[in-house]
Amino acid sequence: MIPQILEITRDDYRISTDHSRLDLRWIHNFLANDAYWSRGIPVDVFEKSVANSLCFGLYDKDQQIGFSRVVSDFSTFAYLADVFVTPEHRQQGLGKWLVESILDHPDLQGLRRWILATSDAHDLYRKYGFTPLEHPEKMMELLAKEN
C-alpha cells in the first residue's frame, strides 16, 4: 500500500508526508548527533528506515524543523518513531500538532495497536491515550548483539 500524501498548514508551518520534501542530510545529522535514541546511526541504516516508513516532515516555510516516522502494516499495527522538533522551535505546540497529525492520518485509522518508546516524553504521549503496556509480560524483544 502506498499511503496518501498529507499536507497540512498552520500559519507559516506545514506538515507533509511527501518524501521528496525531506531534507535527509539534515534529519540524519539531528538523529545521529542530537537524539539520545539514535546517536551514531549510520546513514545507510537511516536511509533504509526512511524508505520503509511513512514519514512526516515539519517545516517553517520551506525549512525543515521537525520529523517523525511511522512503521505500519496500515491495518492493525503502527510504531511511532523518531519524533522531534528542533530546540529553537519547541514550546510552540508544534510537537503536539505533529503527533495529532500523525494519529489523524487517514491511512492510520482503525489500527488495533500503536506503540512507541520514549525516555522523556511520557506526558506528551499520555495526552493522546498512550499508556504503559497493559501486559508487559506478553511483550518480548530481540536486540542486536553488540560486536
Question: In the prediction, which pLDDT does 147 show?
Answer: 53
Q: Domains in the chain, please, with CATH? A: 7-138 (3.40.630.30)
Q: How confident is the model at residue 141 (pLDDT cuts 50, 70, 90)?
A: confident
pLDDT > 90 fraction of the chain, expressed in percent and rounded: 88
pTM of the prediction? 0.93
Residues 33 and 145: their CA atoms lie apart, in Å, by 22
Q: pLDDT (tens digit, 9 = 90+) per residue, 93-134?
A: 999 999 999 999 999 999 999 999 999 899 999 999 999 999
Closest CA relative to residue 4, chosen from 105, 109, 112: 105
Hunting for cell 515539519 — which residue is that? 58
Task: Say if strands 113-116 and 77-85 run parallel, antiparallel, or are unpaired.
Answer: parallel
